[in-house]
Chains A and B, each alone.
Chain A
Amino acid sequence: MPLTGIEIFKLLPRTNCGQCGVPTCLAFAMNLAAGKAELSSCPHVSEEAKAKLEEASAPPIRPVTIGAGEGQVKIGGETVLFRHEKRFENPTAIAMLVRDDMSDDEIAARLEKFRTLRYERVGLMLKPDMVALEAASGDPERFARVAARVHADTGGAAMVLMSEQPPLLARALEAVPGSRPLLYGVTTENLEAMLELAKAHQASLGVKGNSIDEAIAASQKLLDLGCKNVVLDGGARSLKAAFEEQVAIRRAALLQKFRPLGFPTIVFPCRMTDDPMKEALIAATFIAKYGGIVVLSDLEGHSLFPLLVARLNIFTDPQRPMATSEGIYPIGNPDDKSPVLVTSNFSLTYFIVSGEIENSRVPAWLLVQDTEGLSVLTAWAAGKFVADTIAALVKKSGIADRVSHRKIVIPGHLAAESGALEDELKGWQVLVGPREGAHIPAYLKNWQAA
């Protein structure tokens, strides 16, 4: 539970030394409460106070980091039930299941898919995040060998090592030193041994309950023993029950500050159906509704891609419009006779306009102006997408070297700018395009360079 400024003030030295940058401890406390300062700015705060403040300021769902180096994945840290209340912090990690009793060929094929199924979109790389390796063979040597293989072939992707037997996990952990995987699953029976392993290898622990009460029991015990890198599974294996479980855990953590459930979750769509299409819908559900890690039975481009895009949508910060970078975007191999269109850099605008240009099958140059992520009409109203700015972009972009004609198409909503733009861009003819993206194909089909 967040502390108030006064509560924080009581924990500070109250010397008003000013070394934190503000004149009084009270002012500093107020800034801390408002999230405008860091506790580390105070050189004199006691260790005891520091611990208390950190505990109090920890998000209701602890952030947990799994893996090391480039493959590292961060989950949890969530603070809201609905994304519009603030934002969802750490995207649901998408894991691919591998079993150590699969053939070497099958494992190789899966790891190949894990490596290659990645997609660039709005300058972001969309890709699966983790491999969940299940000890199904029962052979510690085999499990360790496959773990090492996964680690090597994925370039150190974060792993979930799935077994309830500490000796099996111990052998695998030796084979992938420093990989800091998630060890799943901890039960009340194996808890002490699992905790020891986790401590020795800086691994996180995945609690595996057969019910939410069992998960709470194990998680509480881990908390009592000082373990904070925990991931929860309450054991639900039907869509409806798992949905309820995810809502229960998120609510208990946020609304009741119930620490034993204040951890990210792991969900297993792969165990809820045998139909891969249905599995994709289940996975989408837990991307939207509170899954920390979602484990898929396999990766296929036709399901992975829509899921990655769904995740991108849900985890977009609602307070910050997504933007694409300024510049010239060639669409469909344009040449010097192809039309030049200009638009704003709000991602959605860019997607729609570029998509419609593709739909038209008329190759074109799309000039995207940095409008600070605002849409065409909003940017225009704010004076950020007007004759001056467009003229400046046309000049600095070098588009004049790419085309032999001198015509530029502006969005229909910017019709009022056309006169001023022609004054600014000597020698260019400014054409007013459609107001709606959907009308671009019809417009372009009638476009003539000469």
Chain B
Amino acid sequence: MLEGFAGGFLEVLQIATLMTMFVGVIAGIVASAIPGFTITMAIVLTMPLTFYMPPIQGIATMLGVYVGGLTGGMISAALLGIPGTPSAVATTFDAYPMARKGDPGRALGIGIFASFFGTLVSIVVLVLAAPPLAIVAIRLGPWEYFSLIVFAMTVIASLVGRSLVRGLIAGLIGIFLATIGPDPMMNSPRFTFDLAMLSSGLPFLAVLIGVYAVSQLLGEVEEMRSASGKGEALIEERIVFRPLSYLMDTIRRPINLIRSSLVGVFIGAVPGAGGSIANLLAYDQARRASKDPDSFGTGVPEGVVASESGNSSTAGGGLIPMIALGIPGSAVDAVLMASLMVHGIAVGPRLMVDNPEIVYSIFVGLLVGAVMMLVIALSSMRYFLMVTKIPKHIIVPAVLVFCAVGVFALNNRVTDIYLLFFVGALGYMMKKMDYPLAPLVLGVILGPIAETNLRRALSTSEDLTLFVTRPVSALFLALAVLSLVVFLRHRMRPGASGAS
């Protein structure tokens, strides 16, 4: 193994590879910081450039974009309250309040270190446990997937806010929005009303950006109604950035860091899940394990650590089934696989046997990418923090235009930006009527996976007991029940927030 690593270091630590990786990390950070621009899009745009590089340089460059992208999404999440990528949704819960309290440097600093450590943990698991974990992940049938999603849906309970009923309504509206468009099994149109813009369903990113970005920016406009508010910046206080103090803030929470990273690795290893679920699940677990769960959402470091380590560790997790079995864990991994195949390298269970240098270079590339991300992010964050000094009357229209462009770029369809408007207006109205937005987004993410797997399971066998007799499925359902019991016990405690 050591020889393999030495070979991997020799391959990756070439000047040309390091230079393209450096550019890749920067590109990933910047692209993900723009709402609407996903890591997958950044990787897809990078792929053609890697055709002209040797395979290892190409894959290392794409890993740089990947690692940078997983961190970049938190920049707009922390500074503007708008997740740059779906994997940064939970980062808005605590990083944004922390920033609005006048400490945006701390929010970003903790996020950067948590991302870095999350990636490191995922590399360790990737190296040590790839084959057994991949076999577990790949053996999950539709029963286990459905039960996993039921467990993930209990996260909604943590996100309901003041009123349980309103939170549930928001979550169910999210799941319902995801049913619009072609039905996942029979492809028959549902609730499209013969409208072209609904015919292929609601693009998840249009919903995410509409719900978060548009409603958040309109919230900023609301605060500008007074004449004295004109020309004010997002954060008026003097901005400080003390990396060493943020490092201590992060490593003082080792259990949270490791637990959230392991959640991210596991979710990343399950094909089709990924960062958008991992960050929410890691946040939820951190909240439940906390002695003071009510402080979550007010700008506590624990929330930032959980979300950022949870989403960044999906990088290594997603590579587990790819390296061990040739099955991509996420869309990004599928692009990485395609890039290797373009170079004539067959990705499958024999990859480790036939091309060990590629596998070790992937391990090393991920590590080097994480270190580069740390260096680049820490040295550039002062400049990103300047965003908070730009007056709101400039930020609001500029970011709205960015959002429209980002949503258009998804499918090159103007109708998608009309959806952005409607979803944005809906999100703002819900926010004003005290309906939490996070369950809605979670519903949109989890709803289609739940429906597809439930129907697949019942198509295979109509025996409902399989959900509880298959051990892994039963484990997830037991965790879901436990999670709900803990939530209800906490909710019924005298003085707990929100009793309805």
A associates with B: no
